[in-house]
Amino acid sequence: MTRIILKYRWIIIVASVILTLAGMTLMPRMETDPDIRNYIPDDMVSRINTDLIEQEFGVQDMIMVIFRDSQIITKDNLLRIKTIERAISRIPSINNTLSPFSTKHIYSKDGAMIVESAIGQIPGSKYEIETLKSGLRANPLVMGLVISEDFTMAAIAATVDNSEAEEQILARVDSIIDANPGEAQVFCGGLPYIRKAIMNDVRRDGLLLVPLALVIMLLFLWYAFREWKGMVIPFTVVAMSIAVAMGIAPMLGWKLSIISLIVPVMLIAVANDYGIHMIAKYQELTSREPNRSMLSIVQEITEKLRKPIFFTGLTTIAGVLGLLTHSVIPARHVGVMTAVGVAFAILLTLFLMPAWLSFLKPGKSRHTQKANPGKNLLENSLGHAARFITRRPVRILVVSSVLTILFAAGIFLIRVDSNQENFFPKKHPVKISSTLINSGFGGSQSISVMVKGDIKDPVMLNSLDRWTEEVEKIEGVGHVYTISAAIKEMSKGLYDTGDTGYNSIPPTRDAVAQLLVLYNMSGDPADFEKLVDYDYTEAHMMIRLSNPENHTIKRVIAGINELA
């Protein structure tokens, strides 16, 4: 094998460089996908159900623009909110918006149903402001949805579609906000902004963490070997392996995810080892035989280390390819990319390194460069450790076993966190926005439930109403929106407080249909298109989560299954 390497060493070097350059040319084409929905296989039940709901009721991702002031109901604040809401609604990729000006106030007047905007005229005097606040406080379509209970925050909620790149939509929203300054603080949140922050962090971390890890590796190699061969050659092997592994993603049409960054870090940790073994053996041989030729050294290194390196690499590849069984798609990608990187690192170590070393002259061993050969901090420490271990083998085994058991017990304390908001520190703008939305507006993340049947049937509507009440009792649930709640609100437009039909679902199907007709005469039929389809055969229950942790989601799903 060594003779073949030495005979074709130029071909090996050139081929290695070409493969590396190919990977490097593909890297600029890498794209980032922060949408966790795309991490789930198309045949998974939850993904299929989500696609069905979005096909009927549209994408449920919301942009939330929060305005916060000591008193949000002021003339200037309301004018600003109205202007920004109108501008956002004109963005082609925005399906609909919800704000204090687009929500409705339903009431009865002279026996007729009146549907008006929750805020008709913007108040000017203190009396008008207090009158408006009194009316808003009694409107469940406003409070906790677009106005906070303490009147310190107001919200604009907008749903987006896929007709335009999400990054461009958010840029338009940000430019609209910047063009309309005011006293109230503005916070932008929702899943689209969370995904934008994740994408920016992935790009930033890729530019920062990987180079930093490579620099740390270089410093370690210099400290360990104290010669340029020991530093540059293993470093080059790792860098080339990273280039090829990362180039696999765009070549196969894969997008990078938040976990893809571990690929170069894993390769720095794993692929580095093979080169270290080669250089350590090289230095050992030059220390024992300073006058030995480099070709002879290369031959012995290759013959003695090729099997250990090859089989060690194979076990590593087999281990990372175990990720192919993972249900999350990016985890499978990480397994393949890491396996390709490790395989390329093995080839470079077994072929490129000997070919490269064969062109060099044996350097002075770092052992012979010191007056006291073999004596340095690292070797002294390792020597003391080796003597301590060999003299007390039983104690070492007992202590190791006890520590292993203690730390292994921590496995039972592992908790799954699927909440993307927790990816960010407390002072991150996205985290601050999410906290405000969760506390004041029921949450920016939601669970969707689609119910099929005769939605105008009072039995069905009463069942939906009962589900709404039960789900809202679950800890971590902010608000639940269903067509049944909207119909109960419509009933206030026909009856006065205290009447039998006030705030209730009509007793017959015809009465429900008549109520909807009356609403459409003075209101907009599209007001509830997110809650029910055109034919009234499918209803959408939107469950907003004020605490979107994994345990909350489990409780909600269990509750819905029990009710169904």
Better-scored residue on pLDDT, 108 or 150:
150
Q: Do 266 and 233 share a structural domain?
A: yes
Q: Do 184 and 215 share a structural domain?
A: no
Cα separations in angstroms, 124 against 78, 96, 132, 133, 156: 10, 28, 11, 13, 22
User: Cα(316)–Cα(297) distance, rounded to whole angstroms?
Assistant: 27
How high is the pLDDT of residue 376?
Answer: 57
How high is the pLDDT of residue 364?
Answer: 60
Q: Do 556 and 432 share a structural domain?
A: yes
Q: How many domains does the chain have?
A: 3
DSSP category for residue 123: P
19-48, pLDDT tens digit by residue?
999 999 998 888 888 777 778 888 888 888
Question: Predicted confidence band at 363 (pLDDT cuts at 50, 70, 90)?
Answer: low
Q: In the predicted model, what is the mean pLDDT of the chain?
A: 87
Q: Do 200 and 174 share a structural domain?
A: no
Closest CA to 115 of 98, 103, 131: 103
Asked which of 310, 344, 367 is the last residue of a domain, the reply is 367
Residue 289 CB coordination number (10 Å): 14
How high is the pLDDT of residue 372?
Answer: 43
61-82, pLDDT tens digit by residue?
788 999 999 999 999 999 999 9
299-344, pLDDT tens digit by residue?
888 888 889 999 999 999 999 999 999 888 889 999 999 999 999 9
Q: Which residues contact 256 (CB under 8 A, 6 or more apart)?
A: 30, 31, 32, 33, 202, 249
Q: Do 437 and 336 share a structural domain?
A: no
The answer to whether position 374 is within a domain reads: no
Read off the pLDDT of each residue in 502-509 and give the average, rounded to a whole number: 91
Q: Do 266 and 206 share a structural domain?
A: yes
User: Cα(131)–Cα(139) distance, rounded to whole angstroms?
Assistant: 13
Question: E strand or H helix at 58, and its extent?
Answer: none
Residue 449 CB coordination number (10 Å): 22
444-493, pLDDT tens digit by residue?
788 899 999 999 999 999 999 999 999 999 999 988 989 999 899 888 88
- Residue 33's SS3 state is coil
How high is the pLDDT of residue 375?
Answer: 44
Q: Do 354 and 214 share a structural domain?
A: yes
Unique residue bearing structure tokens 């109901």: 73
How high is the pLDDT of residue 511?
Answer: 92
User: Cα(296)–Cα(116) distance, rounded to whole angstroms?
Assistant: 92
Nearest-5° angle of CA 204, CA 209, CA 213?
160
What is the domain range of residue 476?
A: 416-564
Q: Do 30 and 76 share a structural domain?
A: no
Q: String of b and e for 89-99 (b: at least 16 CB within 10 Å)?
A: bebebbbebbb
How high is the pLDDT of residue 67?
Answer: 95
Phi and psi torsions of 190, nearest 5°: 105, 165
Query: How long, in residues, is the chain?
Result: 564
User: Cα(28)–Cα(464) distance, rounded to whole angstroms?
Assistant: 51
Beta strands in 72-118 (DSSP E): 94-98, 104-109, 112-117
Q: Do 318 and 185 share a structural domain?
A: no
Q: Could you tell me if 117 and 466 are in contact, meaning their C-beta atoms sit under 8 angstroms apart?
A: no
Task: Identify the burial level of 294 via C-beta atoms within 10 angstroms of its C-beta, where 0-12 means exposed, 13-18 middle and 19 or more buried.
Answer: middle
The answer to whether position 306 is within a domain reads: yes
Look at residue 366 and tell me whether its pLDDT is greater than 80: no
- Residue 468's SS3 state is helix
The answer to whether position 561 is within a domain reads: yes
Q: Do 333 and 422 share a structural domain?
A: no
119-160, pLDDT tens digit by residue?
988 998 999 999 999 989 988 889 988 999 999 999 999 888
The answer to whether position 396 is within a domain reads: no
The answer to whether position 387 is within a domain reads: no
- Residue 63's SS3 state is strand
Asked which of 130, 163, 189 is the last residue of a domain, the reply is 189
CATH classification of the domain holding 173: 3.30.70
Beta strands in 51-120 (DSSP E): 62-68, 94-98, 104-109, 112-117
Stated pTM of the model: 0.75
Q: Do 182 and 221 share a structural domain?
A: no
Q: Do 254 and 286 share a structural domain?
A: yes
Unique residue bearing structure tokens 């090996």: 12
